[in-house]
Amino acid sequence: MFRAVGRIFRTPDLRRKILFTLGIIALFRLGSFIPAPFVDFGNVQACLAANQSTSGLYELVNLFSGGALLQLSIFALGIMPYITASIIVQLLRVVIPHFETLYKEGQSGQSKLTQYTRYLTIALGVLQSTTLITVARSGALFGNSTTTQCSNLITDSSWYAIMLMVITMTAGTGLIMWMGELVTERGIGNGMSLLIFTSIAARFPGSLQSIWQQQGVEILAVVLVIGIATMAGVVFVEQSQRRIPVQYAKRMVGRRTYGGNNTYIPIKVNMAGVVPVIFASSLLYLPALIAQFNQPQAGQEPAAWVTWVTNYLTKGDHPLYMLLYFLLIVGFTYFYVAITFNPEEVADNMKKYGGFIPGIRAGRPTAEYLDYVLTRITLPGSVYLGLIALIPLAAFSLIGANQNFPFGGASILIIVGVGLETVKQIDSQLQQRHYEGLLR
């Protein structure tokens, strides 16, 4: 293993790519600690120290920003606007025929879709930064905290100060997007995925330290054992796939013979990735967000629906919340797989190039067979996603480590997925140059 790492840094091209990637990651983390204009950094740090648990409304965004959201830094929004924009553009392919046409045009069409994603990212950055600043001004950024510091996070509430903060945070999102694209072009791995990986991994040491200080070494040891077992299970499932064999008939073109080879269609157990977890989390946060903006005046009783939402949909350890979370993940998994994998399109492409599945007729029977396999393999995949997402909630119920539990939900899925993909890219580049990969 150490020899393989040594070969990486003895290869000039690969060494340059890895050092460039590490430099971008260092800049990304540095920007997470630089406060935005007119933010009282001392009060923010005091509130962070007094409120160790993150409010559920901002937990997901704070996770993807590496903790920069609650610090109101120039990179407070992190990569979340880009993730949201990418998902929206992907879903619009089903609704807008022009987007589907661009997707099928190849590189030129997908470049236009990427440009639309960038524009939408900036628009979402403006919207989300405005919302974040509004919540910070109201003193509700750290939940129901009543301390003076948490009510005075913004030193200047004039319109030009607010506008400057919105522009700064939106520009930070644009800069993160540009850095991610630079890593993809000149570094190693997918830039956006690596920045998300960095944001999540940066919170691991602090979370484990908090568990150690608050609950002792025994609970920390239990958390580490659960984490290692969870990571092993995630690696196993993420690498699992159903391979559907495909044969291509021989074709004579002039004096040359084409086709006649055998291949397969890999259908992963988890075809949807982490997107259903993000969808389900966002949908469950929506009622709590609406209830927060409908709190009664002092001395008044809250509405019945606000009380119900507060009691049942804001507490992750409540059985109803867990059940809804699990069911939403299962439903969104089927939905997302259905719009990202089109069996009819795959069957038509196979028929066009003379491919067929042994024992299945080309055309519509092939599409029906692919849909049959996909529907059944998505069931264990969706249940697996739901169980992984419930691990932090179960940890809170059993050992009281929900807010600091790092091994579960979207975090572990992204950490393992991005880690595997990056190692594969380094391994393939080493094999091209030394005929021996990173892993044996």
Using alpha carbons only, give the angle 247, 248, 249 rounded to the nearest 5 degrees.
Answer: 120
- Summarize pLDDT for 85-137 with one digit per residue, the tens: 888 888 888 788 888 888 878 788 888 988 999 999 999 999 988 988 887 88
One domain for residues 264 and 289: yes
- At 167 the pLDDT is 93
One domain for residues 329 and 349: yes
One domain for residues 135 and 251: no
Q: Is residue 424 part of a domain?
A: no
Judged by DSSP in three states, 247 sits in strand
State the total domains in the chain. Answer: 2
394 CB-near residues (< 8 Å, 6+ apart): 322
| Cα R_g (the chain), whole angstroms | 24
Prediction pTM value:
0.79
One domain for residues 240 and 161: no
For residues 271 and 381, the answer to whether their CB atoms sit within 8 Å is: yes
The domain of 294 spans 206-407
d(CA 386, CA 323): 10
One domain for residues 232 and 274: yes
One domain for residues 179 and 220: no
d(CA 93, CA 91): 5
One domain for residues 302 and 260: yes
One domain for residues 155 and 91: yes
One domain for residues 246 and 298: yes
One domain for residues 159 and 259: no
Judged by DSSP in three states, 242 sits in strand
- Summarize pLDDT for 249-303 with one digit per residue, the tens: 776 666 676 656 788 888 988 888 888 887 887 788 777 777 766 666 656 777 7
pLDDT reading at 54 higher than 50 = no
Q: Is residue 327 part of a domain?
A: yes
End residue of a domain, out of 152, 178, 202: 202
One domain for residues 38 and 143: yes
Q: CA neighbours within 13 Å on the CB side: how many for 46? A: 14
- At 334 the pLDDT is 92
The separation between the first and the last C-alpha atoms of the chain, rounded to the nearest angstrom, is 9
One domain for residues 294 and 148: no
Domain with residue 371: its CATH number is 1.10.3370.10
